[in-house]
């Protein structure tokens, strides 16, 4: 393995936190140490890189974190890193610490910052997709999505109990301002009657038509999953409009909110994060840069950042079809 050029690797988590980030960090640190490299942990993302908040991480520093949600490196959004002056300060910190390469764990915004930084300072960079939204092209799954989806389904199951007991129509809002992966998967896994996602336009009239069909089939309760960005005003406004025109059910709303971000990562997310963290270090040591490591068909694949940044993740059309077919 041609790894002599890289002796010290910096790693950071940026953007929204996601369950499994700690498992990924653990894999990065321990893989680096296994190959005789030093790993510099950057605290609070790009802002921490600018302000010089960092520490050399030992194998023990990442002990007992694989089961923890959030990120022990903390995270923050940094407007300053969007500027050339901010990135210059970040570069100076890496130079002072003799860092040879950077691993960035996060989403599209994180990747954009890493790509620009790499171009400006010719620094080897590998990115790892960590976001509950599962909206990054080049990987079938992002770190945190499976856990967030399971959290949503657990809540849906409990809400369905009361919906069925009281013959109610529940609108359940899940995260997904621009992406409908959580809503779609939770909708199928939770047995919902309808799913509204940002990728597909659905009018109030369309939804009422689906609910009326269910009512004619003697459904005594219904669950509608709404991604937060699917309808202006969210699930609350949608429920109000439906209630005005469709009085068959007693209508209630539940907004799951940030509880979907937290919690102990699922086994799938822990394994995915470990595989991607390990692959990121090996990719750098093999001379790769400006790429993202992802999971495609259960194999680790590298994708150029230029093919990832700004591009949309395509939802599986068959999953969308399944929602309609199984709701009858």
Which residues are catalytic, by number? 133
Backbone angles phi, psi at 251, to 5 degrees: -100, 130
- Minimal CA–CA distance to 184: which of 232, 135, 131, 130? 135
- Minimal CA–CA distance to 290: which of 277, 302, 273? 302
Q: How far apart are CA 177 and CA 69, in angstroms?
A: 22
Q: How far apart are CA 26 and CA 64, in angstroms?
A: 9
Pairing of strands 291-296, 250-255: unpaired
Question: Could you give the C-alpha distances from 288 to 13, 239, 262, 285, in angstroms and in order?
Answer: 20, 50, 32, 7
Q: How far apart are CA 17 and CA 107, in angstroms?
A: 10
Q: How far apart are CA 313 and CA 50, in angstroms?
A: 30
CB atoms within 10 A of CB 275: 19
Q: How far apart are CA 191 and CA 183, in angstroms?
A: 12
Contacts for 295 with CB less than 8 Å, ≥ 6 apart: 139, 140, 141, 272, 275, 276, 301
- Minimal CA–CA distance to 10: which of 55, 74, 44, 51? 55
Residue in the structure block whose two tokens are 């990562």: 265
């Amino acid at each position: 393995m041609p790894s002599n050029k890289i002796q010290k690797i910096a790693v950071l988590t940026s953007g929204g936190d996601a369950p499994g980030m700690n498992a990924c960090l653990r894999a990065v640190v321990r893989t680096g140490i296994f190959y005789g490299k030093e790993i510099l942990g950057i605290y609070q993302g790009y802002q921490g890189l600018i302000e010089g908040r960092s520490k050399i991480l030992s194998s023990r520093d990442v002990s007992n974190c694989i089961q923890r949600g959030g990120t022990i490196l903390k995270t923050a959004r940094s407007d300053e890193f969007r500027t050339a002056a901010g990135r210059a300060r970040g570069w100076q910190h890496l130079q002072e610490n003799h860092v040879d390469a950077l691993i960035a764990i996060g989403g599209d915004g994180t990747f954009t910052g890493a790509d620009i930084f790499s171009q400006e300072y010719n620094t080897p960079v590998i990115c790892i997709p960590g976001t509950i939204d599962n909206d990054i092209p080049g990987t079938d799954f992002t770190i945190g999505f499976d856990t967030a989806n399971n959290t949503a389904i657990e809540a849906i199951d409990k809400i369905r109990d009361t919906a069925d007991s009281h013959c109610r129509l529940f609108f359940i809002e899940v995260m997904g301002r621009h992406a409908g992966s959580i809503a779609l998967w939770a909708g199928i896994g939770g047995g919902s009657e309808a799913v509204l996602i940002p990728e597909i336009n659905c009018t109030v009239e369309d939804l009422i038509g689906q609910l009326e069909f269910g009512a004619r089939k003697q459904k005594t309760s219904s669950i509608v999953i709404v991604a937060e960005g699917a309808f202006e005003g969210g699930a609350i406004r949608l429920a109000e409009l439906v209630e005005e025109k469709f009085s068959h059910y007693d209508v209630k709303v539940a907004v799951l909110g940030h509880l979907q971000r937290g919690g102990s990562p699922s086994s799938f997310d822990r394994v995915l994060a470990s595989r991607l963290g390990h692959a990121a270090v090996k990719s750098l040591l093999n001379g790769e840069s400006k790429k993202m490591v992802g999971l495609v068909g259960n194999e680790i694949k590298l994708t150029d950042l230029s093919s990832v940044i700004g591009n949309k993740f395509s939802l599986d059309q068959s999953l969308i079809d399944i929602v309609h077919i199984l709701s009858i």
